[in-house]
Amino acid sequence: MRPAEADPMNINHIKKEIEMDKTTSTEFVITHITESGTAFGVRTDNGESIHISPRLLEQANADIDHLCDGIVVPNTVELQRERTPWVAVYVRKTSHAINILEPHALKQAHQLKNTSNNERTWQDISQEVIAFLQSKEVTYCETADISEAVDMESRKLSNLLEHMHSQGKICKAEVRQKADQDRVSMALWSIDIGVYQ
């Protein structure tokens, strides 16, 4: 009697279940959109970065600063995993990020205070951001520049910058590469609007 052959349908079902176990439902804010339409978001629960394909972004009608929820899976590209640990497989826009920034900023401030070695609070970092933007060497800059100056990861800093902007503490300019482009290519931060004139 021959051993029973493996049922290919059963194997595919098991593989699918294994893949589904790796998915995570999460909430995130769109923080950057490249020229090609690829977007990046920041999880509101832990500040980790998410890669979002142009197709998913378009289907969700999402843009920079929008709060979304979705399903993400671990990034399988090893070289990119450390910087962007998640890839979106489903995206749904829920609101503009400004509506949820304050409670999330407060939550992250509490987490930061409890976990940071040097006990910097969210307010401490806000003051460092303002001092950096007020310095003579700076007119306006990207999130990555501020990130280096205050020694904080860009993806975690994005929520703070948006919160500061919503409170009128800093200015934000949204740059589009082409005149007919709806999506923002990058955000530039400054201490006041005068630097853009």
pLDDT at 135 over 80: yes
Phi-psi region of 102 (alpha: psi -120 to 50; beta: other; left: phi over 0): alpha
The full set of domains in the chain, from first to last, is 8-98 (2.40.50.140), 101-196 (1.10.10.10)
Q: Residue 133: which of 149, 113, 153, 156 has the closest Cα? A: 149
Q: Between residues 65 and 8, which one has the greater pLDDT?
A: 65
Confirm if 38 and 51 have CB atoms less than 8 A apart.
yes
Q: Sorting pLDDT into bands at 50, 70 and 90, what band is 63?
A: confident
**pLDDT, averaged across the chain:** 76
Coil, strand or helix at 168: coil
Q: What is the pLDDT of residues 19-53, one digit of tens each?
A: 445 678 889 888 788 878 889 888 888 878 899 99
Give the C-alpha separation, 64 to 136, whole Å: 29
User: Strand 186-190 vs strand 39-43: parallel, antiparallel, or unpaired?
Assistant: unpaired
Span of 1-10, 26-35, 169-178 with lowest mean pLDDT? 1-10
Quote the DSSP letter at residue 98: G
Q: What is the pLDDT of residues 67-106, one digit of tens each?
A: 899 999 999 888 888 888 999 999 998 876 544 444 444 4
Please give the average per-residue pLDDT across 114-137, as a whole number: 75
Q: Which amino acid is at 2?
A: R
At 157 the pLDDT is 82
pLDDT at 11 over 60: no
Quote the DSSP letter at residue 99: G
Helices (H), 22-121: 54-60, 78-81, 101-115
With a threshold of 0.95, does the pTM exceed it? no
The H-or-E segment that residue 162 falls in is: helix 154-166
Give the C-alpha separation, 25 to 46, whole Å: 13
- 97 φ, ψ (degrees, to nearest 5): -60, -30
Phi-psi region of 136 (alpha: psi -120 to 50; beta: other; left: phi over 0): alpha
Span of 35-44, 98-107, 175-184, 187-196 with lowest mean pLDDT? 98-107
